C-alpha cells in the first residue's frame, strides 16, 4: 500500500503553540522534493507532548495541505489502548489514509498483550494500520511470531521496524509470508533493509534531505544497487549526527538552521547547543547529497 520515502515530520512550534504556517511550508517542501508519503504526529513530531486537540490539529493540517497528493499516515499510538483507539478514530475522521501506532511503551506488555492491543485498535477502527517496533524507546520488542499473528488481521498492513536487526527482520518477513509490508525505521540501514524485502523507510533524515533519501529508495525499488549505495554512503555522516541526541532534538535544530522553523521543543526536550550543534552544522555544510543552505550558522 505504501512505499519509498515517507517522512516522519517534525512539528514546528512558536511560543509554545503549533506553528501552522511553518508546518504547511514544511509539508510543501516535502511534496516538492518528491516524497512518497508523510507521517505527522509521530515520535519525530513530538506526539508525546501534544494534547489530544493539538494531535488532531497536526493531522488536520497535514491532510488539508497535502490534499491527496501523497498518503498521510497519522501517528496515533499510545501505551493506552483506549487512547490509541480514540486517536485512530480521530485520524480516520480527519481523512488520514492510514495510522502508525507505536508499540505500547513503559507498560512493558507481554507478547500476548501487544497482540491484543493492536488487534483491539484494528477491530475498532477500519483504517489501514502500520505497527511500529522501536525497542530503544518502548523497552519491549515485537517478536517475529507476534508480527506474524498480526499479519492475519486484515487492516494491519505493515510494520515500521526500527530495530536495525537484519536477522530479526528476516525471521519477521518469513513469519508474515507476504501478508504485510515492511518499512525501515532506521535511516542508517535503509539499503540492506530494502535488499531483504523492505518497501521503503519512514525517515527522520528526510526532513532535511528528502531528495537524497528518495534517490536511495527509488534506486532500491529499481534494483539499481550502485545508485542506492552511493546515496546511503552520502548520508552516512548526516544519519549519524541526526541521532547524537534523542530524536527530534537534532532534526529540529537542523530545520531551524535551514531557516524553516524555530528551534523550539517542548520539555523535557531541550534545543541542541554547543559542540554537538556545531558538529551537526558542519556535517550539513559538507553534505554530498542535495545542497543544505544554512541560514545563520
- Whether the CB-CB separation of 287 and 209 falls below 8 Å is answered with yes
Is residue 268 in some structural domain? Answer: no
List the CATH number of the domain containing 44: 3.20.20.70
What pLDDT was estimated at residue 15?
97
Is residue 279 in some structural domain? Answer: no
CA atoms of 282 and 297, how far apart (whole Å):
9
Is residue 288 in some structural domain? Answer: no
What pLDDT was estimated at residue 296?
61
What pLDDT was estimated at residue 290?
86
Is residue 259 in some structural domain? Answer: no
Q: What is the mean pLDDT of each run of 10 residues along the chain (297 residues)?
A: 96 98 98 98 96 97 98 96 97 98 94 98 98 94 98 97 97 97 98 98 98 98 97 97 97 97 97 96 93 79
What pLDDT was estimated at residue 1?
79
Q: pTM of the full predicted structure? A: 0.96
Is residue 63 in some structural domain? Answer: yes
Note down the domain range covering 131. Answer: 4-222
The grid cell for 71 is 498518503
Active site residues: 132, 160
- Whether the CB-CB separation of 45 and 269 falls below 8 Å is answered with no
CA atoms of 187 and 201, how far apart (whole Å):
7
Is residue 290 in some structural domain? Answer: no
Give me the number of domains the chain comprises: 1
Within a 10 A sphere around the Cβ of 87, how many other Cβ atoms? 26
Give the tens place of pLDDT for each residue, 51-73.
999 999 999 999 999 999 999 99
Is residue 71 in some structural domain? Answer: yes
Could you tell me which residues come within 8 angstroms of residue 248 by beta carbon, excluding any fewer than 6 positions away? 10, 43, 44, 45, 46, 204, 265, 269
Give the tens place of pLDDT for each residue, 231-283.
999 999 999 999 999 999 999 999 999 999 999 999 999 999 999 999 999 99
Burial zone of 291 (CB within 10 Å; 0-12 exposed, 13-18 middle, 19+ buried):
exposed
What pLDDT was estimated at residue 88?
98
Is residue 289 in some structural domain? Answer: no
Amino acid at each position: 500500500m505504501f512505499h519509498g520515502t515517507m517522512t516522519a515530520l517534525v512539528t514546528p512550534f512558536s511560543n509554545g503553540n503549533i506553528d501552522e504556517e511553518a508546518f504547511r511550508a514544511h509539508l510543501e517542501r516535502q511534496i516538492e522534493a518528491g516524497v512518497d508519503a508523510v507521517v505527522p504526529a509521530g515520535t519525530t513530531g513530538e506526539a508525546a507532548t501534544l494534547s489530544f486537540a493539538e494531535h488532531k490539529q497536526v493531522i488536520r493540517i497535514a491532510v488539508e495541505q497535502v490534499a491527496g497528493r501523497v498518503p498521510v499516515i497519522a501517528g496515533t499510538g499510545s501505551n493506552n489502548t483506549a487512547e490509541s483507539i480514540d486517536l485512530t478514530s480521530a485520524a480516520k475522521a480527519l481523512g488520514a489514509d492510514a495510522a502508525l501506532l507505536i508499540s505500547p511503551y513503559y507498560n512493558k506488555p507481554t507478547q500476548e498483550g501487544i497482540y491484543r492491543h493492536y488487534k483491539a485498535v484494528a477491530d475498532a477502527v477500519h483504517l489501514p494500520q502500520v505497527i511500529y517496533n522501536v525497542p530503544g524507546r518502548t523497552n519491549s520488542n515485537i517478536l517475529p511470531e507476534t508480527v506474524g499473528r498480526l499479519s492475519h488481521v486484515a487492516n494491519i498492513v505493515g510494520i515500521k521496524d526500527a530495530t536495525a536487526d537484519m536477522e530479526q527482520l528476516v525471521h519477521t518477513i518469513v513469519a508474515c509470508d507476504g501478508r504485510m509490508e515492511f518499512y525501515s525505521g532506521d535511516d542508517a540501514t535503509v539499503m540492506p533493509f530494502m535488499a531483504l524485502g523492505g518497501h521503503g523507510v519512514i525517515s527522520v533524515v528526510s526532513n532535511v534531505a528528502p531528495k537524497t533519501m528518495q534517490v536511495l529508495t527509488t534506486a532500491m525499488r529499481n534494483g539499481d544497487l550502485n545508485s542506492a549505495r552511493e546515496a546511503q554512503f552520502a548520508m552516512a555522516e548526516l544519519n549519524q549526527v541526526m541521532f547524537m541526541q534523542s530524536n527530534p532534538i537534532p532534526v529540529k535544530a537542523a530545520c531551524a538552521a535551514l531557516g524553516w522553523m524555530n528551534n523550539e521543543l517542548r520539555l523535557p526536550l531541550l534545543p541542541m547547543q554547543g559542540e554537538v550543534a556545531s558538529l551537526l552544522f558542519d556535517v550539513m555544510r559538507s553534505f554530498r547529497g542535495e545542497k543544505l543552505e544554512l541560514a545563520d550558522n
